[in-house]
Chains A and B, each alone.
Chain A
Amino acid sequence: MERNAPGDAIHLAPRRVAEATRAPAPVRAARHGRRGSLVDRRRRSGMLLTLPALLTLAATALYPLLWTMSLSFQSFSLAVGGEEPAFAGLANYERVLGDAAFWTAIGQTVGYVTVTLTVELLVGLPIALVLHRETRGRKVLRLVVALPLMIAPVVAAMAGKFLFSPGYGLVNEGLAALGIDGPAWFADPWLARAAVLSTNAWLALPFVVLVLLAGLANIPGELREAAVTDGAGRWRILWHITLPLLRPSILIILVIRLADAFRVFDAVYVMTGGGPGSATEVLSTYLYRQMFTRTDFAGGAATSVLFVLVIGICAGAVFLSLRGRRGER
């Protein structure tokens, strides 16, 4: 019996290699052919299955976007039998960018988005950490936290308006019980902004908490146990383990909530109407007035395109910044 030296299985004689590879060759080729066609078929059926959704998306999102872009470069009259649409170049953009109210709205919107996202994360994280712990009544608390998700934004805005009302609002009643003279919330620019922001943050908090809870559930318990064994305290665990591993969840929250916060409308329209003065005017309410009070549809289209660009740039910057850091680790 021929003994194989170590490595024989690898270093085979050329004849044996040829035999070994020649015999199954047709079979392997056939297998490749079948696999290829299977992949192709799967790809085709996948495309067919997603085609209705893609077509729907194109009809409801892409087409209106392209149409809006087209309108933004035209001048036309809304009157029956009025001026036919004509190419207007950048005239609509010049008009919008030359309007001081647009810059007020854009500045206030960016400020609102920045503060609201910060507040939501700063408030949502401790709530998520508490709800993640194995404590009694956790399920009930999770349900309570999720309740605002079921409320329509306009209803929440109406409730907010009553809550912050100086004459009969619950907020000032509560402050009075503590011996504090409640302010006229909607008569002061900063307090009006705070009232709008807190109403919207209350609505968005359940989403933030639920995403963070899902992220916390994905952090392996062994990491925390190892850190505890190594003598790490709560803050070090939070800072060096929990937060870095929550980064994907925070990224999801930032990208989704950023676009959502930019579109804030209900709370501003119902609670302050953009006032006092124009202290709470945001891009959505500016756009609404431009379209339906000024009936400037071409200017409104230009504002919409600028609006999409601003959201896209901000969301892209957040996405790339957090994604880049993840890659660095």
Chain B
Amino acid sequence: MGMEAGSPHESFYKEKAEQFTAETGIGVEILGVPHDNMHQQFLSDAVAAGGAHDVLMVDQPWVAEFAANGYLASLDERLSDEDRDDFIEGTLDTVSYEGAVYGLPFLVHNQVMYYRPSLLEAAGYDSPPATWEQYREIAAATTDAAAGTFGTMIPGNRDGEVATRFMSYVQQAGGDIVDENLRPAIENDAALEAFAMMQQIQFEDGSSPEGLHDLSAIQGQFLEGKIAMVAQWPYMWAMATDPEQSKVVDDVAVALDPGNPDQVATTFAWGLGVSASSDDQDAAWEFVHWATSGEVLAAKAIEQLSPVPRVSSMEALAAAEEVSEADRAALAVFGESVARSRTMPMTPAFPQYQTAIAEAVSAVMSGQATPEAALRQAQSQMEQAAG
């Protein structure tokens, strides 16, 4: 099985695999693959049909591409109605392509707002922002550039994570990067509004530190206590509340991302799929099914304080005594944020869409292109990718 090396998912499943072997007699070897190499390695293996991995840990953007090319086995006939009903509504869509299921998700999440209540209170605000207007206002009020603290961090690096962030902004402004037929449609008013908000905070207000920020810089600066509000994935909650990793342990809370007016954020998933070139697809399916079962996902949710896509697991999490009130409140926000949002477009061209959007964001935030020109170029690149 190929999994993201060094991720909490790898360590969890490595620990649990023995239990699966004891129950079924099927041996499991988990091979760690660095995150940046996963797509390339799985793709190369699939093209060669070498069957190096029976089970693949798949990021949602690859699902449509792998399914369309026949690299993932369809799980439609194997998945029972009972199982389908236990997955939270919409979560199976994150691993589906053209109506068929090609994997089972173990994590469906989106970005929420992490903030430091003490900084907001000191600036005269007793609740986190719900709209972009409030977000901009509070970011400015909590900035003290001379002291090295800023209200927020606007992403701008040329990478896929920054592209996903921009997609969330577009959805928050009521738009999307594709139309109802999944054809590229990023040249729209919502995308222009998103750029306007980013530029105002970054350049006009100076409420975001200088530079083109990526996700790891945003995470690092927040955990260092230098930023009042940032958008991040749910996994940061465990880090932010761990004294060994965070300087804001007693001063951190989460809320829905502010909207314009929609408080949403594009959802993404990680799942497990069966490689079409596996010579033992039955055993591979058995592991995938077990690893995403209600019981195992409940254990994962409680251990990692992260949302999982099964109803039964979330109920177990809610009843778990070891989960604190603060953790419970954070988990409720994570769940609500996913419930009110929609997922990324399930098209094989999505990775290319991401590349085009990342280049556009980077060009605008470095002052090399106007939002209109950058969106025009992104639209053209996306249309070329869509064929």
Contact = CB atoms under 8 A, between A and B. Distances in A.
Interface of A: 78-82, 165-167, 183-189, 272-279, 289, 292-295, 297
B98 to A, nearest CB: 14
A295 B43 contact: yes
5 contacts: A273-B158, A273-B362, A275-B158, A275-B358, A277-B368
B71 A293 contact: no
Given A293-B351, A293-B355, A278 B363 contact: yes
Given A187-B212, A275-B358, 5 more contacts: A184-B210, A187-B365, A273-B159, A275-B366, A294-B385
Max chain B CB contacts within 10 Å: which of A166, A185, A277, A297? Answer: A277
Contacts of A275: 157-158, 212, 358-359, 362-363, 366
B369 interface: yes
Contacts of B158: 272-277
B271 interface: no
A78 B359 contact: no
A297 B40 CA distance: 12
B371 interface: no
A82 B69 CA distance: 8
A186 B213 CA distance: 9
Given A165-B217, A273-B157, A276-B158, A79 B70 contact: yes
Contacts of A81: 70
Q: A-B pairs with the 4 shortest C-beta distances?
A: A275-B158, A80-B70, A276-B366, A277-B363
B363 to A, nearest CB: 3
Nearest to B69: A79
B362 A277 contact: yes
B156 interface: yes
Contacts of A292: 39-40, 43
Interface of B: 39-40, 43, 47, 49, 65, 68-71, 156-159, 209-212, 217, 221, 226, 276, 351-352, 355, 358-359, 362-363, 365-369, 385
Nearest to B209: A167
A289 B39 CA distance: 12
A187 B69 contact: no
Contacts, number: 89
A78 B363 CA distance: 32
A202 B204 CA distance: 37
A294 B352 contact: yes
B365 A78 contact: no
A292 B369 CA distance: 26
A166 B366 contact: no
Contact of A189 (B221, B351, B366): B366
Contacts of B369: 277
A80 B71 contact: yes
Contacts of A289: 355
Given A274-B158, A275-B157, A294-B352, A189 B368 contact: yes
Contacts of B43: 292, 295
A276 B368 contact: yes
A187 B363 CA distance: 9
Contacts of B362: 273, 275-277
Contacts of B385: 294
Contacts of A185: 211
Given A165-B211, A293-B352, A294-B352, A78 B47 contact: yes
A284 to B, nearest CB: 14
A276 B217 contact: no
B69 A279 contact: no
B217 A78 contact: no
A187 B70 contact: no
Contacts of B212: 184, 186-187, 275-276
B158 to A, nearest CB: 3
Contact of A188 (B68, B276, B352, B366): B366
Contacts of B69: 78-80, 82
Contacts of A184: 210-212
A95 to B, nearest CB: 10
Nearest to B159: A273
Nearest to B216: A161
Given A167-B221, A273-B157, A275-B158, A187 B366 contact: yes
Contacts of A295: 43, 65
Contact of A278 (B70, B226, B359): B359
Contacts of B209: 166-167
Nearest to B150: A167
B211 A167 contact: yes
Contacts of B221: 167
Contacts of B47: 78, 297
Contacts of A186: 157, 211-212
A186 to B, nearest CB: 5
Contacts of B217: 165, 167
Contacts of A78: 47, 69
Max chain B CB contacts within 10 Å: which of A273, A295, A297? Answer: A273
A79 B65 CA distance: 10
Contacts of A279: 366, 368
A297 B43 CA distance: 12
A79 B68 CA distance: 7
Given A80-B71, A167-B221, A292-B39, A187 B156 contact: yes
B10 to A, nearest CB: 20
B358 to A, nearest CB: 7
B381 to A, nearest CB: 9
A267 to B, nearest CB: 14
Nearest to A167: B209
